[in-house]
Chain A
Amino acid sequence: MKSTSKINWVFRGIYYLQALLIAVASSLAGASQADPAWIAEHAELFVKPHHFLLQWVWLAWILTLLIGVLEIVRRKIGSPWVWQCIHDILDAYKEKVFEDSRFDRDNHHRVTLFQHKKFTLKWWFIPKRGWLVPVERSGWTNRKRRTWFRAPDDADKAEGIAGMIWAMGKTLTVEDLPEINKKTIIMDRDAIANYAKQTWVRENWVRNRLNKGYCAERSFCGFPIENKGKPWGVLVLSSRSPEALANESIEVFDDFVVTALSSLLERKA
């Protein structure tokens, strides 16, 4: 999950670094064009700096390339205010959809925005193709939990509710899932298998999560998110309540959410 303060810090850092690099690259490019004889005659003070800069002119090309790379990185990260707005929208959506459960704990009902990555690196070194990666989540808890779901080009291999929504391109609602917890792993293995089947994930994956102390959500609803007419990701609502998503406000309110998200994603860079 993106931390708004970290994004803000990195985004601004890259911005200032780019400004510095542009100034240095411009100086080097300017020095290469300047006439040494004219400087010696009219600006004697700059002869030594000019001579120094001429030795590093080759660096201008590398700096220009670096500025370009930093611009790509900055666009990839997205403006901090956009991510803050997206977070606020998800919060508002959650408040609306789970209106009847507003006194429950923050992490009992969640809205998570997943972005589809054609190619990405997990833990910075394992290459992955076709995954849905959570980029923003409602609330202030469980923000560090990052569960990825497979969504490869071969739609038959899509996993999880998010993967299935991506593969189908439609709104999906799954409710009344079996209640499972750490004890169920030994006491009721069928329940684990049933849960895994109904959420299109592997049994081992469910067991591992339960062993880590995670609670399993009992209802899901989600729909695809597009950017400029092309699939971008999915938005998934999840709840520990088995019927929390049997709510008409999902359909009515998603109009506002989808419109706002689409506008923001277009302005992300």
Chain B
Amino acid sequence: MKHWVPINQGTLDLGRDETIRGVHVRVSSSPYDIPRAIRGYYCDDLGKFVIEFRYIEDEPLTKIKADDFTWFEKGSFTGRIYKISIDVDEASAEQVSLVVEEHNHDDVSRVIVDSPMASTAIFENTFERMRNTVDNLIKSKRETDNSRAISAALGQSHESLKESFQKIEN
């Protein structure tokens, strides 16, 4: 299933204090750089675990290889990350699907993983790889404007994912 789940922007905490030309200001991401919703699923055709981000506006996408297993699809105009796909087959995950559901009206996402062969470890590895790749983008100064927002959004979903995994295992 591929439900879009709204991202709770209030909890992303993207603001930071900076000094610009000697002036102390509060800086945070542009509203256009913050993903509005997220969804994750296993794409059978590609054999990849995919996480997609939805923004206020769409644009043409360009595919970029981040490392041996990870691909980004970025906006051609803005460089925003719209899609991250990881070759989980390479990581020994044979079948994975991610079901994302909205939880009540508080916009807190609940992520349920439904796969007979999926294990917490595989998802933890997959998720960590995604986050590390995005974090490396920030550190290596190849940072796109919204890398911080993506990293924060993944972090928000990751916590929900853990909960869901524990429920399945129980």
Q: Which of B26-47 contact A (CB under 8 A)?
A: 26-33, 36
Contact B56 A259 (CB under 8 A): yes
Q: Which of A20-28, A163-171, A209-217 contacts B (4 or more CB under 8 A)?
A: A163-171
How extensive is the interface on chain A, given as a class? 20 to 34
Closest chain B CB from A175 CB (angstroms): 8
A98 within 8 A of B: no
Contact B29 A228 (CB under 8 A): no
Q: Which of B1-56 contact A (CB under 8 A)?
A: 9-10, 15, 20-23, 25-33, 36, 56
Chain B residues, Cβ within 8 Å of A174? 23, 25-26
Contact B25 A229 (CB under 8 A): no
Q: Kindly identify which residue among A173, A226, A251 contacts B10, using a CB–CB cutoff of 8 Å.
A: A251
Interface size on B, residues (CB 8 A): 26
The proximity string for A residues 234-269 relative to B, scoring 1 for CB distances below 8 Å and 0 otherwise, is 000000000000001001101100110010000000
Contact A258 B22 (CB under 8 A): no
Q: Which of A200-227 contact B (CB under 8 A)?
A: 200, 223-224, 226
A6 within 8 A of B: no
- Main SS of the interface on chain A? mixed
- Please report B residues at the A interface, Cβ cutoff 8 Å: 9-10, 15, 20-23, 25-33, 36, 56-59, 75-78, 145
- Please report A residues at the B interface, Cβ cutoff 8 Å: 164, 168-175, 197-198, 200, 223-224, 226, 228-230, 248, 251-252, 254-255, 258-259, 262
18 contacts between A and B (CB under 8 A): A168-B27, A170-B33, A171-B29, A171-B30, A173-B25, A173-B26, A223-B30, A226-B32, A226-B57, A228-B59, A230-B77, A251-B10, A254-B31, A255-B31, A258-B56, A259-B56, A262-B56, A262-B57
